[in-house]
A and B are shown apart, each in its own frame.
Chain A
Amino acid sequence: MFLQFLLLRSPNNPSQVKSLSFAEVMRLVQEGKDVPGVRKVDIQASNQSATPSQMERIRKPWEVASNNLALIFQNTCPSAWKTVGSH
């Protein structure tokens, strides 16, 4: 059973509620009023492992373009980077 399809078919489908402007929503929230179309959904994790991958990682365009392996994959931040000021 697909939870998302239940929500789409429910009478409280948010897409059927009149669209409020940003200012209208802000005002409702600041006044502590209920915002229409808001449903409480309680979603639990399954804690299952992921569907096994069946695809190889694809090289990025910059990996294909570059012949310089040092550019493609570096292990540490370059020592040439120096911080500015006392942040």
Chain B
Amino acid sequence: METKVFRCPARHGYAVEASPFFPGRLACAASQHYGIAGGGSLLVLDDTPTGPGLARRWEWSDGLFDVSWSEANENVLVAAGGDGSLQLWDLHRDAPLRLAKEHAREVYAVDWSQTRGHDAIVSGSWDRTAKVWDPTLGQSLSTFTGHQGVIYSTIWSPHISACFASSSGDGTLRVWDAKAGACRLAVPAHDAEVLTCDWCKYDQNVAATGSVDGSVRVWDLRNPRRPLHRMTGHDYAVRRVKFSPFSGNMVASCSYDFTVRFWDWKRESALVDTVAHHSEFVCGLDFNLHVPNQVLDCSWDETVKIYTPPCLSGAGPRP
């Protein structure tokens, strides 16, 4: 398996996201000292034939835990900080465009809406609230309470306008209607903290969760009493799940067990591949939106990796 590696010394990667505009570009939110103390760095990398190079780097006064690219402006991205702030960054500016300091605790998740006609940002915090913001990161538009534990993940539905999912330390997956300002659904997804969630790109009713219990569960939101699939294999907490942009069957997960795994959730024996190329927690994971089957990840081992896992190396995307 050919892997391209970018090393960021003294920075522990928390999140990666592929650019919606440029096939070779990605952003990485990283923290000093594992995010426990010190600052953070936001990196923009451009993949080249000789490997990924640094296009941009900004420092922040606290750890950075998540990043999301604007869907409307190729120059803009937003990052989530351990100091409770969100920062809006512009590739052509040294200073952040805007700072939003409303959350009372660490912001662990941020996502920029992908649906047409709805340009907005959602954040999730350890203060147990989610907030929705306009794309200029002015004062928040709404605050969503209900979770009984810290929020680890907030992700917009790719199909349903103004709808986002959240996962929490309270063990639940919640789905929110940002226009109505209401929680539409609360699913007791795991008996342990739920660190991550994501939406299927090919079925608007399907979502996945990943938990401290080491499992990835796939849900049909029309019938959330039991998951469609309980996928076990990871030895420790699942830190992030991502559905493939090219296949409705494929979902990837990364874990504190240092691996990235790929699952065909429609198969009873779902585990398709295990990639064990990190020496520390793998926290960031994304699929390239432009290059089928290319995966990005980042880890506390101070690396960002770009690769195509063996299961996706066949000709063309899987059905």
Expressed in whole angstroms, the Cα–Cα distance for A42 and B62 within the complex equals 10
A39 to chain B, nearest CB (A): 7
A85 closest partner in B (C-beta): B188
Q: Do the beta carbons of A76 and B160 come within 8 Å of each other?
A: yes
Interface size counted on chain B using CB atoms at 8 A: 69
Q: Do the beta carbons of B93 and A48 come within 8 Å of each other?
A: yes
The residues of B that contact A84 with a CB separation of less than 8 Å are 185-188, 224-225
Interface Cβ pair total, 8 Å cutoff: 183
A32 to chain B, nearest CB (A): 11
Interface size counted on chain A using CB atoms at 8 A: 57
The residues of B that contact A43 with a CB separation of less than 8 Å are 59-61, 95-96
- Contacts known (A38-B33, A84-B187, A84-B224); A72 close to B159, Cβ less than 8 A: yes
Expressed in whole angstroms, the Cα–Cα distance for A22 and B301 within the complex equals 11
The residues of A that contact B159 with a CB separation of less than 8 Å are 71-74
Please give me the 10 A-B residue pairs with the lowest Cβ-Cβ distance, nearest first. Answer: A87-B186, A15-B9, A53-B73, A38-B38, A35-B37, A62-B201, A51-B75, A46-B95, A80-B222, A14-B10
B residues with CB within 8 A of A: 9-10, 20-21, 32-34, 36-39, 57-61, 71-76, 87-88, 90-99, 114-117, 136, 158-161, 163, 172, 174-175, 177, 179, 183-188, 201-202, 204-205, 221-222, 224-225, 245-246, 289-290, 292, 300
